[in-house]
Amino acid sequence: MISWRYLMKTSMIRQKKNIIKETELFSPMNEREIKILAEFSEFQTYEKDEKIFINGEKSDALYIVESGEIIIRKENESGKEIDIARFIKKDYFGELDLLTEKERNATARAEKQSNLLRFPKKGVNFQDFLSHHPSVSAQILHRFSVVIAGRIRKANSLIKENSPVIQELQKQVYQDKLTGLYNKTYLEKRVGDFLQKNPSSLSLLSVKPDNFKVINDNWGHEAGDQTLRIMANEIERIIGPECIPTRYMGNELFIIYPNAGKQEARNLAAEIRNALNNLDLREVTEGQAFTLTASIGVAVYPEYAKERDILIQKTHELPLIGRARGGNKILFPEDKDTDSNG
């Protein structure tokens, strides 16, 4: 039998989702992303003249107006408080302060009894949310930059993508904590961005060590983590500034190589393979000699795929085939069913 408490909780989640969907900031997000936002939001009711936040207070949330009316007041140069903004149903406020993590520079007050949806809910740190929900956070970051930049542009200023605020948020959302490289979310985003521009070519390289398990089994998982960091540093050293290195998953690293055709990608793959074969891993293997081998998969747009997910998948599946054939291979999609490989 379904409990009353369960029905109430389900109804509340549905209500929060509906409000979020109708809000300009979040409306482009998909159902799963909106559901996560709803779970980390909460309703708050304010009586007439009750303050939502005050000048100088730490910024820890944004608010969506479900009902009522909110007035934002700020001191002018003479010290007198004046109304600077008014928010009604479906409006939202507080997002710029949340984004910049600056103290509030104004006071928000309920003009009449008002019901607000607060995100994130009390007890949830916004930066922690970004770290633990990278795919949703990527969308939030994008929407923040689009909406806020549009607003500030009207006031003759602009939040740029290379501003310290945006760079720091991108770092938190898109950085792999172990290697310092970009993560899978960023890989998918950037490949999608590149393909939308219809480039003449774009190459993806997937680098996966063949004998990584030997390191984990003999010297432990910390040694494996250290090996992955050394690999990431070596790949960053080799590739040019136009390339984008990422950690795709586990011990698999991806490189986005813009405007590169098949031969250029093959040359880079060979250089990476040679460098990894010659890595000095004695600090990891307790002084014992060890040669790391790696198989590298390469797929090129538009020759092998014209869609982002297919291009990534074709690249991802090749290193395992290379390892099964003895390792240290460079494979293109046409090599899957033949023994032709480097």
pLDDT of residue 223: 94
For the stretch 233-265, pLDDT in tens is: 999 999 988 999 999 999 999 999 999 999 999
More reliable by pLDDT, 34 or 75:
34
Distance CA 65, CA 285 (A): 58
Q: Which of 72-76, 106-110, 236-240, 252-256 has the lowest mean pLDDT?
A: 72-76
Domains defined for the chain, CATH in brackets:
4-28+35-125 (2.60.120.10), 181-335 (3.30.70.270)
Edge-to-edge order in the sheet of strand 330-331: 244-249, 252-258, 202-209, 294-301, 330-331
- The whole-angstrom distance between residue 31's C-alpha and the CA centroid of its chain comes to 18
What token pair was written down for 124? Answer: 């949830």
Task: Mention every residue, 6+ apart, whose C-beta is less than 8 A from residue 266.
Answer: 298, 330, 332, 342
Residue 1 confidence (pLDDT) above 90: no
For the stretch 144-199, pLDDT in tens is: 777 766 655 554 444 555 555 556 666 667 888 899 899 998 899 999 999 998 88
Give mean pLDDT, residues 18-42: 89
